[in-house]
């Protein structure tokens, strides 16, 4: 009977958390009537009104649901995005400055492909008391029109549990905290006022 209850508790917890985001999930846009410009298809549109103001270190920042799925599935990293009322080259340069000012001092190696509007980091090894993880950021900046640009960002995160003797890395699903902070900081440096 005890094994059945344990299994049921695990199953219920999995169902309740599989689609839920952990702390740090961004404020989403769902329509253009909010006054923040065009929506971008194929990604989670982060609102410029999102209150995320801190780049978090010391935590791997994955969804609660992905903890239960580690090793069972290989999820596609979520894509977060924002539209900015600025030309694409300006947005890319500001994002590059954010990466150089904040991510480079943390140890991320950064590469830029200006001709394709791309910016990315190499994987950075990190850890805390329960887990080891590697993560990297991939950014794409594209023009929407002459007055607007879109920025898309993904964070790929691989997690290994310290209690696992093999220390095998499996993909986790980022909650979007640091991706949102990068989008917000880019907007702040472009002169956005919330």
Total-model pTM: 0.82
pLDDT at 165: 74
Structure tokens at 135: 């993560």
Q: Is residue 88 part of a domain?
A: yes
Q: Is residue 154 part of a domain?
A: yes
Q: CB under 8 Å to 8, separation ≥6 — which residues? A: none
Q: Is residue 89 part of a domain?
A: yes
Q: Is residue 103 part of a domain?
A: yes
Q: Is residue 164 part of a domain?
A: yes
Q: Is residue 87 part of a domain?
A: yes
Pseudo-torsion of CA 37, 86, 55, 51, nearest 10°?
-30
Domain range spanning residue 167?
A: 2-189
Are 179 and 47 in contact by the 8 Å Cβ rule? The answer is no
Q: Are β-strands 131-143 and 124-127 bridged in parallel, bridged antiparallel, or unpaired?
A: antiparallel
Q: Tens place of pLDDT for every residue, the chain, 194 residues? A: 555 544 444 443 333 333 334 456 788 888 888 888 899 999 999 998 888 889 888 877 775 544 445 555 566 889 999 999 999 999 999 999 999 999 999 999 999 999 999 999 999 999 888 888 899 999 999 999 999 999 999 999 988 877 777 778 888 888 899 999 999 999 999 998 65
127's enclosing H/E stretch is strand 124-127
Q: Is residue 194 part of a domain?
A: no
Rounded-to-integer distance, Cα 58 and Cα 136, Å: 15
Are 79 and 55 in contact by the 8 Å Cβ rule? The answer is no
The count of structural domains within the chain is 1
H-helix segments, the chain:
2-17, 64-69, 88-98, 104-106, 177-189
Q: CB under 8 Å to 181, separation ≥6 — which residues? A: 52, 53, 54, 55, 56
DSSP 8-state symbol, 26: P
CATH number of the domain where residue 174 is located: 3.30.530
pLDDT at 86: 96
Q: Is residue 114 part of a domain?
A: yes
């Amino acid at each position: 009977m005890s094994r059945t209850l344990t299994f049921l508790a695990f199953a219920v917890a999995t169902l309740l958390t599989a689609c839920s985001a952990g702390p740090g999930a961004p404020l989403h846009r769902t329509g253009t009537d909010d006054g923040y410009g065009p929506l971008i298809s194929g990604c989670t549109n982060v609102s410029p009104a999102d209150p995320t103001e801190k780049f978090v270190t010391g935590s791997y920042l994955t969804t609660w649901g992905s903890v239960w799925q580690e090793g069972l599935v290989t999820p596609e990293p979520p894509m977060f995005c924002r539209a900015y009322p600025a030309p694409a080259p300006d947005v890319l340069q500001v994002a590059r400055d954010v990466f150089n000012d904040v991510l480079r001092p943390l140890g991320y190696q950064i590469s830029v492909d200006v001709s394709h509007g791309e910016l990315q980091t190499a994987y950075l090894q990190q850890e805390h008391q329960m887990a080891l993880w590697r993560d990297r950021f991939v950014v794409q900046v594209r023009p929407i029109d002459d007055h607007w640009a879109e920025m898309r960002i993904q964070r790929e995160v691989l997690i290994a549990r310290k209690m696992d003797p093999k220390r095998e890395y499996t993909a986790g699903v980022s909650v979007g905290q640091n991706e949102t902070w990068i989008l917000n900081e880019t907007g702040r440096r472009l002169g956005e006022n919330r």
